[in-house]
């Protein structure tokens, strides 16, 4: 896995973006810090109404709580170093939100909630599947994650969604 991570990392880094696009992509990745949810709440309210929004928020709380619990347990157990910590020539080009690399929280936590929206409101929910995956790949490009962090984050995001829904159903009865 380490060899694949290194090969993908260096392949991705060799293909740089023009400065204006690079700046725009850095801002785009910052949406994954939580800012995108303001836009998504407005879109759900506008297109689907208050009732759907409240139901999605209820469901999302369970998925997010599962995701955050798994995230911190795994992150603090694995303690994987980030590319900019291991590779001398690499500088982090976006700010990491914590110290360790695995799993990608931008991918994991946003997908846990994104799958909820996709399941209930697919016409706009697909955006919340695509965005966390692209954020993950861009965070590899910017030196703060490995490919396996993003893949692991995606798998754990889906697991968090699924477990969150099971817990939601138990509490709803």
In a domain, 160, yes or no: yes
In a domain, 13, yes or no: no
Q: Residue 172: what pLDDT?
A: 85
In a domain, 15, yes or no: no
In a domain, 116, yes or no: yes
| Neighbour-count burial of 159, counting CB atoms closer than 10 A to its CB (0-12 exposed, 13-18 middle, 19+ buried) | middle
Could you list the residue range(s) of the whole structural domain that residue 138 is in?
Answer: 2-6+20-172
Candidates 61, 142, 79, 62; CA nearest to 106 is 142
pLDDT in tens, 90-109: 899 988 888 999 999 999 99
In a domain, 14, yes or no: no
pLDDT over 90 at 33, yes or no: no
pTM here?
0.91
In a domain, 76, yes or no: yes
- Please report where in the chains the tokens 């965070």 appear, as a residue: 139
pLDDT in tens, 71-82: 999 999 999 999
In a domain, 12, yes or no: no
pLDDT in tens, 3-16: 889 898 889 888 88
Work out the pLDDT band at 127, boundaries 50, 70, 90.
Answer: very high
Joined together, the tokens standing for residue 86 give: 């291991």
pLDDT in tens, 129-163: 999 999 999 999 999 999 999 999 999 999 999 99
Contact status, residue 135 vs residue 29, Cβ threshold 8 Å: yes
The count of structural domains within the chain is 1
In a domain, 64, yes or no: yes
């Amino acid at each position: 896995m380490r060899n694949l991570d290194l090969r993908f990392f260096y392949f991705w880094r060799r293909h740089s973006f023009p400065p204006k696009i690079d700046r725009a992509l850095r801002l785009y990745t910052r949406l994954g810090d939580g800012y995108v949810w303001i836009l998504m709440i407005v879109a759900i309210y506008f297109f689907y109404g208050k009732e759907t929004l409240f139901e999605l928020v209820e469901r999302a709380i369970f998925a997010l709580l599962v995701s955050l619990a798994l995230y911190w347990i795994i992150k603090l157990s694995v303690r994987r170093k980030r590319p900019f910590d291991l590779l001398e020539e690499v500088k982090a080009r976006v700010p990491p939100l914590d110290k360790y690399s695995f799993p990608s929280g931008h991918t994991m936590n946003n997908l846990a909630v994104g799958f909820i929206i996709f399941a209930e409101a697919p016409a706009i929910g697909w955006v919340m599947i695509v965005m966390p995956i692209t954020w993950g790949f861009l965070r590899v490009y910017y030196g703060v994650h490995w490919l396996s962090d993003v893949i692991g984050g995606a798998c754990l995001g889906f697991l968090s969604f699924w477990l969150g829904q099971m817990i939601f159903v138990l509490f709803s009865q």
